[in-house]
C-alpha cells in the first residue's frame, strides 16, 4: 500500500471549530479491544462529553453504546464520522456520509489518508481532517 500525503486538510482554527460544533461522533472501526487506538480515542471523546456511536461488524455493545454495522443504520443524527479503517474503504465511507446528509466532519485518524474520498466529502460540504488523532487534537485545545 502506498502512503498518501494529505492534500486536503483542516488547519488548527478549523479543528478548534469542529469541537465546538460536533456533539455526536460515529466511530467507524471502533474495536471492543481496550488496547486498540480506536477504543482509547472513543473512550476519551465519550469521557469529555461527546456522544459516541460505534460502527463495527461485530458486537452488540461497545463503551455502553449500541453498535451499528454501517453508517446507514444509525437512526440518530451524526455530526462527525471518525474513521479507524484502512484508506482503501474511505470512498465507501465518504459515500455513506454524503447519503446521510447530516455529517459535518469527515475525519481520518492519524496515519490515514485518502485524498479522493476527502475531496468527495469536501465537495459535499463537510470539513475534512486527515492524518490527525481526534483525541490528541482535542487535548491540545
Q: Is residue 59 part of a domain?
A: yes
Q: Is residue 94 part of a domain?
A: yes
Q: Is residue 2 part of a domain?
A: no
Query: How far is CA 141 from its chain centroid?
Result: 18
Which range marks the domain in which residue 32 is found? 12-140
Model pLDDT for residues 8-32, shown as the tens digit of each residue: 777 888 999 999 999 999 999 999 9
Q: Is residue 54 part of a domain?
A: yes
| Total domains in the fold of the chain | 1
Tell me, what CATH number does 111's domain have? 3.40.50.720
Q: Is residue 7 part of a domain?
A: no
CA-wise closest residue to 107 among 60, 42, 32, 31:
42
DSSP string computed for 36-53: SHHHHHHHHHHHTTPEEE
Q: Is residue 1 part of a domain?
A: no
Enter the pTM of the model: 0.94
Q: Is residue 40 part of a domain?
A: yes
CA-wise closest residue to 66 among 36, 75, 85:
75
User: In the prediction, which pLDDT does 1 show?
Assistant: 40
- Residues in the chain predicted with pLDDT less than 50, given as ranges, are 1
Amino acid at each position: 500500500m502506498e502512503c498518501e500525503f494529505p492534500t486536503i486538510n483542516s488547519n488548527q482554527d478549523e479543528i478548534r471549530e469542529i469541537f465546538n460544533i460536533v456533539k455526536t461522533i460515529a466511530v467507524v472501526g471502533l474495536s471492543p479491544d481496550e488496547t486498540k487506538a480506536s477504543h482509547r480515542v472513543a473512550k476519551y471523546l465519550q469521557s469529555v462529553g461527546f456522544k459516541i456511536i460505534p460502527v463495527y461488524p461485530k458486537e452488540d455493545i461497545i463503551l455502553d453504546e449500541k453498535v451499528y454495522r454501517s453508517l446507514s443504520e444509525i437512526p440518530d443524527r451524526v455530526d462527525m464520522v471518525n474513521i479507524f479503517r484502512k484508506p482503501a474503504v474511505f470512498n465507501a465511507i465518504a459515500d455513506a456520509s454524503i447519503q446521510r446528509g447530516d455529517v459535518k466532519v469527515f475525519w481520518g485518524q492519524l496515519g490515514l489518508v485518502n485524498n479522493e474520498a476527502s475531496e468527495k466529502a469536501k465537495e459535499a460540504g463537510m470539513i475534512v481532517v486527515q492524518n490527525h488523532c481526534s483525541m490528541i487534537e482535542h487535548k491540545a485545545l
